[in-house]
Chains A and B, each alone.
Chain A
Amino acid sequence: MPETVQLFITCLIDSFFPHIGEAMVRVLNRAGVRVEFPAGQTCCGQPAFNAGLRSEARPLAEHTIRVFEQTTGDIIIPSGSCAAMIRHGYLELFRDDPHWLARAQALAGRVFELTEYLVDVRGVTDLGARWPGRLTYYPSCHLLRGLGVDRQPRLLLAHVREAEVVELPERDDCCGFGGIFSVEHPELSAEFLKRKIANLEKTAAPTLVVADTGCLMHIQGGLTRQGKPQRVVHIAEVLSNQR
């Protein structure tokens, strides 16, 4: 009887990049896991929380807790940022409310970022994936420093057949997305982005792998604006690729 997990797809993948969600389901299936998708889910509330609008973030956090309380099993999220929001951000959000804090803690214990779940929980590092060509990986800030997840995506990528994984210079530096930061402070955000793209070009890799959709749409948006040929892909896309 295979393990069953709950998918928290995140509002960005749901709305903008549903094919990443499909890739993720294939990856989880291949790791021996059955996937369920609670239909009531929307957004974890991080945009409002990060903006400081906690009274706006709270209803969405409560909604998310209610939706997933009706399910059992681990909750897998294809985003370090959203996973960090539920694991750490909710505890902050409900810090002064013992009732909701307890419910948030229970949820936090069930939440895993995709690569963290595959490697640390399932013990899987080789998914039989194939990706001909050069790849470079950018560790998103909330995944790297918020969750401390770095070894896991690297292990997974190291087992991708025909992929030549090269190091991204200044890899740990922020790409400048930062949610509403990139809208509120576009000048600063643009400088970070410029540097990230310049570093990507140094690797001569046509493909940048990330594990967070915010960074993906930010960097891909910059590449597209500049007419650059590189593509940014989610790690689930790489891991689900067989051909």
Chain B
Amino acid sequence: MNKDQTDTEFIPLKNFHQRIRRSLANETLQLALDANAARRKASRQAAFASLPDLQERRARAHAIKAEIVAHLEDYLAEFIRQVEANGIHVHRAKDAQEAVSIVLKIVKDSPQRLKDSFVNPPDLSGEDVLIAKSKSMVSEEIELNHALEAAGYRVVETDLGEYIVQLRGERPAHIITPAVHLRRQEVGVLFAEKLGIPYTEDIPTLTNTARKVLREVFLNAHVGISGVNFGVVESGTLCLVTNEGNGRMVTTLPPVHIALMGIERLIPTLDDLALFLSLLPRSATGQKLSVYTSLIHAPLPGQTRHLILLDNGRLALRASPLAESLYCIRCGACLNACPVFRELGGHAYGSIYPGPIGSVISSALVDPQFDYLAQASSLCGACREACPVDIDLPGLLLRVRAGSSPRRTQSDPRGEQKEAKQHEGAGIPLPVKLGLKSFRLAASTPRLFAALQTLGGLLTHLLSPRRAYLHLPAWTGWGYSKDFPRLAVRPFRARWKEIGGREQRIESREQGIESREQGAERREQRGESREDGQEVVERFVQELTALGGKVERVSADELAARLQAFLAETGATQALTDDTVAPLLGKAAVRRPDPGIPVGVTGALCAIAETGSLVLVSGAGETLTASLLPPVHAVVLRTGQIVPTVAEALARPEVRRAAAGVIVTGPSRTADIEMALTIGVHGPGKLTVFLVDER
């Protein structure tokens, strides 16, 4: 793929057609995209099979986001109050430039504060500040990497897909799977060239190479920058969803953490969060829950946290007929469902937000020129069908075409609607516009319309006396891949004069009434079918095992001995632990976050049956680092700690009180190269639960 596909400047319309042709001619890209389309669709459908009340959930999610967007300023004010009360510094940025300068200022000021750092206190001389980033579309939107590098800092993307894309000097091709346009061979060549390893196509080897390089970055980074998936208003929670563990690393290890968030990414309560968590991972990657769902409230000891809330056109969108686009939770399902994306991939769009949602929001958030993207849709509606928040994407694309995109100018920064009509049909070629105008003139007068029909019929029959379809040249658009039907010499309206004159042979029939099936066949009552204790335990074991985790059932008496034996089997003499399990490990217990230790053993606040997850919170020593740094993570859990649903886990007061928490759902994983599942990226690749039977 050519490097110039990734120009950071916006792309005028005429180049768009070139880019389309280039994407279509790129065989590697086409193979990668076809594989993506098929697999994503299948995994999404499989994941939603476990959610019988999907349509009801979509409707609820839609209503919740509608409420947030309708009263955005109020919710935002309350959210900011909560976040600040939790001890996080909050900054509001009205545009990209302001957001970038806030980040630069925080980074510039940070070295003085680094003395308190709990990992590798650095010896800084301004320029060798190292910044570790986890995936954030907002950071792409404001072109943050570019600005940080221009200021002399070293920035490293730590999501595997983003890292690959950064090494190639490209931008992400998809909002969830940034390297979706590449195949393993290209990654092999890239790593051989940039990281100096022998060429290999083995995905686990490639992943492990990146893991090693990035581990150094995590351990030495001075600043961690992340995005935010959801901001919970009632608790000020910053929720981040990742699979590899890099999101946890950049929010846990560096002494300064900066979170970037669009102002619309709010939801009211932790109970609502449970609903959205049931939709986002299923839609994005076909998982019931992503491996790591981080819940951040306050800085960890010795850490400083900042939250930057970005407007950059969102309030203008809210005031426009495109407000519904702010309901988006950036799951990427509309991209995967879209037949146009399937042909193009992300880069051809030119905007960092590609696909159906990108075609709606790019002109408001990135560059007004992008409203031509909305024309690149057949309005097939697959995007809306896939959207977990039921956003009417085809309806919004139509509004963009009708000129509804807010136009921000210097004098009118809010982009208030003035002359939608002026921008009607933005991006349509003039001949098409003129054609539609003439058609309207003709169709407004039935007699003229009828006369033109007959004329057209005669003309096309003259041009093609024998064949019913005419061969039009490619430049007409229609003729590019297909023939055009002749018009009828006698259109229906002329024939009707005969049919209408005849007596219609109307049969009376009362038969065949076997339709009207009950529409709602399998609508399960939503709710809290209380599983009994044993079922909950079984479900947890089943779900976690399916994810590649191990469960060892033990009695309370044998726990300590089994843990010691586990360490011995793993070849470990020491284990990183937290306060709850340290007594069980005796001398082997280590309480400092030492990255050389191969095993982490922690307790858990609770576990979730429906997703096979473990909920860990800060507060009892090194729970968060011990569950993250070592390649092996063991958890001590009592059967009585298992709750049925995510919602019940999030209702626990400890979740809200903790400075940070994480829901761990299986071993760390990635599917960023060719969607091949690879276990063990930045977080532990092995996860074992010692389940203590309480009866």
Interface residues of A (CB under 8 A from B): 2, 9, 11, 13-18, 21-22, 25, 29-37, 39-43, 45, 47-57, 59-60, 63, 92, 119-120, 123-127, 141-142, 144-146, 151-152, 155, 159, 172-174, 176-194, 217-218, 220-222, 224-225
Q: Do the beta carbons of A32 and B507 come within 8 Å of each other?
A: yes
Q: Do the beta carbons of B477 and A53 come within 8 Å of each other?
A: no
Q: Do the beta carbons of A52 and B424 come within 8 Å of each other?
A: yes
When distances are taken between beta carbons in the complex, the residues of chain B under 8 Å from A35 are 504
Q: Do the beta carbons of B343 and A188 come within 8 Å of each other?
A: yes
Closest to A20 in B: B492
Q: Do the beta carbons of B506 and A174 come within 8 Å of each other?
A: no
Take A15-B491, A56-B440 as given contacts and tell me if A120 and B515 are in contact as well, using a CB distance cutoff of 8 Å: yes
When distances are taken between beta carbons in the complex, the residues of chain B under 8 Å from A37 are 493, 496, 500
Take A120-B515, A174-B339 as given contacts and tell me if A16 and B375 are in contact as well, using a CB distance cutoff of 8 Å: no
Q: Do the beta carbons of A225 and B482 come within 8 Å of each other?
A: yes
Q: Does B27 contact A (CB under 8 A)?
A: no
Among listed B1-9, B239-247, B442-450, B543-551, interface-contacting one: B442-450
Flag B351-393 by CB within 8 Å of A: 1 or 0 each: 0000000000000000000000011111111101100000000
Q: Do the beta carbons of B485 and A53 come within 8 Å of each other?
A: no
When distances are taken between beta carbons in the complex, the residues of chain B under 8 Å from A190 are 480-482
When distances are taken between beta carbons in the complex, the residues of chain B under 8 Å from A42 are 442-444, 446, 449
Q: Do the beta carbons of B492 and A29 come within 8 Å of each other?
A: no
Closest to A24 in B: B492
Name the distance in Å between A87's Cβ and chain B's nearest Cβ. Answer: 13
Name the distance in Å between B520's Cβ and chain A's nearest Cβ. Answer: 13
When distances are taken between beta carbons in the complex, the residues of chain A under 8 Å from B508 are 2, 32
When distances are taken between beta carbons in the complex, the residues of chain B under 8 Å from A192 are 339, 343, 378
Closest to A218 in B: B482
Q: Do the beta carbons of A51 and B432 come within 8 Å of each other?
A: yes
Interface residues of B (CB under 8 A from A): 17, 20-21, 24, 339-340, 343-344, 374-382, 384-385, 395, 398, 400-403, 421, 424-426, 428-429, 432-433, 436-437, 439-440, 442-444, 446, 449, 453, 456-457, 467-469, 471, 474, 476-478, 480-488, 490-496, 499-500, 504-509, 511-517
When distances are taken between beta carbons in the complex, the residues of chain B under 8 Å from A57 are 440
Q: How far is A63 from B447 in the complex, measured between Cα atoms in Å?
A: 13
Q: How far is A218 from B481 in the complex, measured between Cα atoms in Å?
A: 9
Report the 3 A-B pairs with minimum CB-CB distance, sorted nearest first: A52-B401, A178-B378, A221-B482
Name the distance in Å between A196's Cβ and chain B's nearest Cβ. Answer: 10
Take A21-B492, A42-B449, A43-B439 as given contacts and tell me if A221 and B484 are in contact as well, using a CB distance cutoff of 8 Å: yes
When distances are taken between beta carbons in the complex, the residues of chain B under 8 Å from A92 are 395, 398
Closest to B519 in A: A151
When distances are taken between beta carbons in the complex, the residues of chain A under 8 Å from B486 are 16
Name the distance in Å between A20's Cβ and chain B's nearest Cβ. Answer: 8
Take A50-B398, A186-B480 as given contacts and tell me if A11 and B443 are in contact as well, using a CB distance cutoff of 8 Å: yes
When distances are taken between beta carbons in the complex, the residues of chain A under 8 Å from B453 are 14-15
Q: Do the beta carbons of B382 and A172 come within 8 Å of each other?
A: yes
Closest to B375 in A: A184
Closest to A13 in B: B492
When distances are taken between beta carbons in the complex, the residues of chain B under 8 Å from A29 are 504-507
Name B425's contact: one of A13, A51, A176 (CB within 8 Å): A51
Name the distance in Å between A186's Cβ and chain B's nearest Cβ. Answer: 3
Take A30-B507, A221-B482, A225-B471 as given contacts and tell me if A51 and B401 are in contact as well, using a CB distance cutoff of 8 Å: yes
Take A48-B436, A224-B469 as given contacts and tell me if A141 and B505 are in contact as well, using a CB distance cutoff of 8 Å: no
Closest to B401 in A: A52
Q: Do the beta carbons of B437 and A56 come within 8 Å of each other?
A: yes
When distances are taken between beta carbons in the complex, the residues of chain A under 8 Å from B484 are 217, 221
Name the distance in Å between B146's Cβ and chain A's nearest Cβ. Answer: 31
Q: How far is A159 from B493 in the complex, measured between Cα atoms in Å?
A: 31
When distances are taken between beta carbons in the complex, the residues of chain A under 8 Å from B457 are 15
Q: Do the beta carbons of A32 and B509 come within 8 Å of each other?
A: yes
Q: How far is A192 from B344 in the complex, measured between Cα atoms in Å?
A: 12
Take A14-B453, A125-B515, A190-B480 as given contacts and tell me if A49 and B485 are in contact as well, using a CB distance cutoff of 8 Å: no
Q: Do the beta carbons of A123 and B515 come within 8 Å of each other?
A: yes
Q: Do the beta carbons of B384 and A60 come within 8 Å of each other?
A: no
Name the distance in Å between A12's Cβ and chain B's nearest Cβ. Answer: 9
Q: Do the beta carbons of B485 and A183 come within 8 Å of each other?
A: no
Q: How far is A189 from B437 in the complex, measured between Cα atoms in Å?
A: 23
Q: Do the beta carbons of B506 and A32 come within 8 Å of each other?
A: yes
When distances are taken between beta carbons in the complex, the residues of chain A under 8 Å from B444 are 42, 59-60, 63
Q: Do the beta carbons of A16 and B499 come within 8 Å of each other?
A: no
Take A14-B453, A52-B426, A187-B480 as given contacts and tell me if A221 and B469 are in contact as well, using a CB distance cutoff of 8 Å: yes
Q: Do the beta carbons of A16 and B485 come within 8 Å of each other?
A: yes
Q: How far is A25 from B500 in the complex, measured between Cα atoms in Å?
A: 10
Name the distance in Å between B448's Cβ and chain A's nearest Cβ. Answer: 9
Q: How far is A16 from B504 in the complex, measured between Cα atoms in Å?
A: 24
Q: How far is A56 from B500 in the complex, measured between Cα atoms in Å?
A: 32
When distances are taken between beta carbons in the complex, the residues of chain A under 8 Å from B469 are 220-221, 224-225
When distances are taken between beta carbons in the complex, the residues of chain A under 8 Å from B512 are 123-127, 159
Q: Do the beta carbons of A141 and B403 come within 8 Å of each other?
A: no
Name the distance in Å between B404's Cβ and chain A's nearest Cβ. Answer: 9
Q: Do the beta carbons of A187 and B421 come within 8 Å of each other?
A: no
Name the distance in Å between B85's Cβ and chain A's nearest Cβ. Answer: 42
When distances are taken between beta carbons in the complex, the residues of chain A under 8 Å from B436 are 47-48, 51, 53, 56, 180
Q: Do the beta carbons of A14 and B492 come within 8 Å of each other?
A: yes
20 new A-B pairs (CB below 8 Å) besides A9-B492, A141-B381, A187-B24? A16-B487, A21-B496, A29-B506, A32-B508, A32-B509, A36-B500, A52-B398, A52-B425, A53-B402, A53-B436, A60-B443, A142-B381, A173-B339, A176-B339, A184-B428, A189-B480, A192-B339, A218-B482, A222-B482, A224-B468
Q: How far is A221 from B484 in the complex, measured between Cα atoms in Å?
A: 6
17 examples of A-B residue contacts, CB within 8 angstroms: A15-B456, A37-B496, A42-B444, A51-B425, A53-B424, A60-B440, A63-B443, A63-B444, A126-B511, A145-B384, A178-B378, A181-B375, A182-B378, A183-B432, A183-B476, A189-B480, A221-B478
When distances are taken between beta carbons in the complex, the residues of chain A under 8 Å from B485 are 16-17, 217, 220-221
Name A49's contact: one of B382, B398, B499 (CB within 8 Å): B398
When distances are taken between beta carbons in the complex, the residues of chain A under 8 Å from B482 are 190, 193, 218, 221-222, 224-225
When distances are taken between beta carbons in the complex, the residues of chain A under 8 Å from B385 are 145
When distances are taken between beta carbons in the complex, the residues of chain A under 8 Å from B21 are 187
Name B428's contact: one of A49, A51, A125, A189 (CB within 8 Å): A51
Name the distance in Å between A118's Cβ and chain B's nearest Cβ. Answer: 9
Q: Do the beta carbons of A145 and B381 come within 8 Å of each other?
A: yes
When distances are taken between beta carbons in the complex, the residues of chain B under 8 Å from A172 are 382
Q: Do the beta carbons of A18 and B491 come within 8 Å of each other?
A: yes
Closest to B436 in A: A48
Q: How far is A29 from B484 in the complex, measured between Cα atoms in Å?
A: 31
Q: Do the beta carbons of A181 and B426 come within 8 Å of each other?
A: no
Name the distance in Å between A241's Cβ and chain B's nearest Cβ. Answer: 16
Q: Do the beta carbons of B480 and A15 come within 8 Å of each other?
A: no
Q: Do the beta carbons of B488 and A119 come within 8 Å of each other?
A: no
Closest to A222 in B: B482
Q: How far is A55 from B424 in the complex, measured between Cα atoms in Å?
A: 8
When distances are taken between beta carbons in the complex, the residues of chain B under 8 Å from A151 are 515, 517
Closest to B499 in A: A25
Take A146-B381, A181-B379 as given contacts and tell me if A34 and B343 are in contact as well, using a CB distance cutoff of 8 Å: no
When distances are taken between beta carbons in the complex, the residues of chain B under 8 Å from A194 are 481
Q: How far is A50 from B381 in the complex, measured between Cα atoms in Å?
A: 13
When distances are taken between beta carbons in the complex, the residues of chain A under 8 Å from B402 are 52-54
Take A224-B469, A225-B482 as given contacts and tell me if A15 and B487 are in contact as well, using a CB distance cutoff of 8 Å: yes
Take A15-B453, A126-B511 as given contacts and tell me if A34 and B493 are in contact as well, using a CB distance cutoff of 8 Å: no
Q: How far is A91 from B63 in the complex, measured between Cα atoms in Å?
A: 21
Q: How far is A180 from B482 in the complex, measured between Cα atoms in Å?
A: 14
When distances are taken between beta carbons in the complex, the residues of chain A under 8 Å from B442 are 42
Q: Do the beta carbons of A47 and B439 come within 8 Å of each other?
A: yes
Name A50's contact: one of B379, B403, B446, B495 (CB within 8 Å): B379
When distances are taken between beta carbons in the complex, the residues of chain A under 8 Å from B433 are 51, 53
